[in-house]
Structure 1
Amino acid sequence: MAIMMKNSNRDMTTARSGLRRRSLLALGLAAVAPLGRHAVANPAPAGAIAIIARFDEALLALMRADAQTVFSRRFELLAPSVDQTFDLPAVLAVSVGPAWTNLPPDQKNELLAEFRRYTVASYVANFDNYAGQHFAILPETRGLGAGRVIVQTRLIPVSGDATRLDYVMQLTSSGWKAVDVLADGSISHVAVQRSDFRRILSRGGGNALLASLRRKTSDLSGGTVA
């Protein structure tokens, strides 16, 4: 599910958390529908909480492995957790927009494969340092209607300010899935990813978007993930 805000050129530095805050932009996923203006606090659905708790554990394991473990190995370790956590097909379709329905099936499959690699590579590249941080999940979700809730998490360093990462969760036929990541609790990446993808598509169609995703993944992985 992922956004590279113009290849993560925006710098969002976290204080002593081991994460560049630009990674929050790099890792955002397009929501299936826009966020509602008002969110209502509700008891957290156990399934939605469990999905994010497992993903947090996977990210901590990734951080503990750090950059001394080769990128391709860290990619392999995290990829199953990304698949379990995010509804990547829905995110990609919404990000591409109306043009998605007109793309050939083979090209859709290629785009989904590249989008998955790009998403995993984004996390691997940005969650690469462990300095005693831990995740905390708030006990309540923010309800958005239409079957969506926000699971609120914090990445807490040993000292300094916590980093807020909230996940928009949608109940699907295969259980709860994340369809967006909100930096600082409100910065959704829908508009940016949509703008980026649609600009590329308008200039070169599906092949141009494929090339862009491949290039971004190669840049993130140093060419080790193809």
Structure 2
Amino acid sequence: MMLRSRRFLLAAVCSTALFPVGAFAQTASGSPTAPVSALNAGLISIMKAGEQTPFLQRFQTLAPIVDQVFDLPRILRISVGSYWSGLPAAQQQKLQQVFRSFIIATYVANFQSYNGEVSSISPQTRSVGAEQVVTSLLAKPSGDSWRIDYVMGQATAGWKIQDILLDGTISRVAVQRSDFASLLSDGNATQLIASLEQKVSTLSAGAISS
């Protein structure tokens, strides 16, 4: 099940754009499109760095961007579901740590070279309740393209990515919640933590320890 989650994440995050690395700082913090621009810029940076750059270095380059643009605590709570409130504080903290590493390591492992990919971000967003959906279209030099929608929500620090919709409908958080369910029990996330730790180790070839 965790493999399915990784495949979904890979498909959903394949959105890259030719933005300068400092794009987020230069974009109005009040815009829901700003975090998507920042993510694209970070991905371009690590793609151009390539596999000749140590995994840990690329991980450290992308980590602060992921922290800034994703609402990871919220995403994790929803992915864990009703089990979250029953977990000991120490397990909640460990899950947050290893989940963050898993997300970053998955990006780094799957964006290792730049081959001319370009994406466009629609300046127009659509409202879904209190959230805004930002649409990004990825185009490859071959002419193939696909659409990714980012669900943006207001957090204390401004707009954050709260979910990713592949083909405009399939929620990555919902898929992740389904995958996590078999690894959770009341008051115990040991299996999920171990599974995520193993994934991080595999993705990074042992360069990252959670």
**Quick one: which of 138, 161, 185 aligns to 2:144?**
161
Give 1:156 deviation, angstroms: 2.0
1:23 equivalent to 2:10? Answer: yes
Q: Percent identity?
A: 43
Unpaired segments ≥5 residues, structure 1: 11-20, 28-44
Distance 1:92 1:22, change over 3 A: closer
Unpaired segments ≥5 residues, structure 2: 15-28
Matched residue, 1:192: 175
- Output the CA distance in 2 between the equivalents of 1:65 and 1:163: 24
Q: Secondary structure at the match of 1:149?
A: strand
- Output the CA distance in 2 between the equivalents of 1:94 and 1:59: 25
Deviation by residue 1:177-215 (Cα, 9 ceiling, x = unmatched):
101112222221233211111110139931111101101
Question: How do 1:48-67 and structure 2 match up within 5 A?
Answer: 48-67=32-51
Checking the alignment, whether the CA contact within 8 Å between 1:169 and 1:178 is kept in structure 2 is yes
**Quick one: which of 87, 93, 107 aligns to 2:77?**
93
- Output the CA distance in 2 between the equivalents of 1:163 and 1:79: 26
- Output the CA distance in 1 between the equivalents of 2:12 and 2:133: 17
TM-score of the two chains, using structure 2 as the length reference: 0.85
Give 1:222 deviation, angstroms: 0.9
Checking the alignment, whether the CA contact within 8 Å between 2:83 and 2:186 is kept in structure 1 is no
Give 1:7 deviation, angstroms: 5.2
Which amino acid in structure 1 is aligned with residue 98 of structure 2?
E
Deviation by residue 1:111-150 (Cα, 9 ceiling, x = unmatched):
10000000000111111221112221012112111x1111
Checking the alignment, whether the CA contact within 8 Å between 2:150 and 2:165 is kept in structure 1 is yes
Cα RMSD (Å):
2.3
**Quick one: which of 40, 44, 64 aligns to 1:80?**
64
Distance 1:47 1:7, change over 3 A: closer
Which amino acid in structure 2 is aligned with residue 195 of structure 1?
S
Matched residue, 1:178: 161
